[in-house]
Amino acid sequence: MRFYSLIFVGGKWLGAAGLGALLVMLTGCATPAINDPSRTGPFFTPVNFHGQPSTGGLRRIVVLPICGGTLVSQEILSSFDAVFVEALQRENRFEIVTLSRENCLRRFRLAEFASTAELPADFLVSLQRDFAAEGVLFVDITAFRAYRPLTLGLRAKLATITGKELIWSFDEIFSAANPAVANSARRHVLTGDRGDVPADLSPAVLQTPVRFADYAATAMFKTLPPVVMPVALPVGARDASR
């Protein structure tokens, strides 16, 4: 015996096929056209970053709460914390330990620290001792606009705990007013691992701060140094490979 899910719409009972068709009608085209800017570009590539040739053997890092200062509400910041951690985990470069806002406040009397702030004397020693961490990641919000066109400025620093060496730094502004950024944000949604969808929902990334932050965080963390330094081939080997 088969059972079908039905819903009563407009005086008619619709099954699964009818519901799918209705959803497509309500939400738009199934996929972007071949000449849609989310397919053709131009696309945005961050350029304002600097990194070492590799992550320097860092295995475990502490990710601090996102520092938004007075630019971002605590509710949005809490959502950003999870979004940025997930984006970093997708890069699969480190074992990640997160320091919650509550834990940070309890330990150091502040819920967040900017990458440019003066740190408590025992800050780095405490992170190394309590989390067996070798590095610490700071992320600051430098610009924020929660309504169209969305804008998110990000500054980040990854440093070693023991040697206090800067492994990577990043400073960029993502603005949906820039067509290249808007195209890249939509492409991020369309190519992401979100399963099949019955319609092109990518324009929503340009209207929702948390979704836009997921794109920006992903673009930022892709500029991190590789785990292992690329091996330079001998001159003869390079010539032979051509």
SS (H, E, C) the chain: CCCCCCEEECCEEECHHHHHHHHHHHHCCCCCCCCCHHHHCCCCCCCCEEECCCCCCCCEEEECCCECCCCCCHHHHHHHHHHHHHHHHHHCCCEEEECCHHHHHHHHCCCCCCCCCCCCCCHHHHHHHHHCCCEEEEEEEEEEECCCCCEEEEEEEEEECCCCCEEEEEEEEEECCCHHHHHHHHHHHHHCCCCCCCCCCHHHHHCCHHHHHHHHHHHHHCCCCCCCCCCCCCHHHHHHCC
pTM beyond 0.85: the answer is no
**Looking at the predicted structure, is the pLDDT value of residue 172 above 60?**
yes
- Phi, psi (deg, nearest 5) at residue 230: -60, 140
pLDDT at position 163, please? 73
pLDDT tier for residue 108 given thresholds of 50, 70 and 90: very high
**Looking at the predicted structure, is the pLDDT value of residue 193 above 70?**
no
Q: Hey, where are the domains in the chain? A: 1-29, 31-227
Q: What value does the mean pLDDT of the chain take? A: 84
Q: Which of 34, 46, 67, 28 is nearest to 178 (CA)?
A: 46
pLDDT tier for residue 191 given thresholds of 50, 70 and 90: confident
DSSP-based three-state secondary structure for 87: helix
Whether 111 and 65 have beta carbons less than 8 Å apart is answered as: yes
Distance, CA of 131 to CA of 94 (rounded, Å): 14
**Looking at the predicted structure, is the pLDDT value of residue 6 above 60?**
no
pLDDT at position 201, please? 72
pLDDT at position 68, please? 95
Domain 31-227 has CATH 3.40.50.10610: yes
pLDDT at position 10, please? 47
Mean pLDDT lowest for which of 2-16, 97-111, 217-231? Answer: 2-16
Give me the mean pLDDT over the 177-191 stretch. 95
**Looking at the predicted structure, is the pLDDT value of residue 217 above 70?**
yes
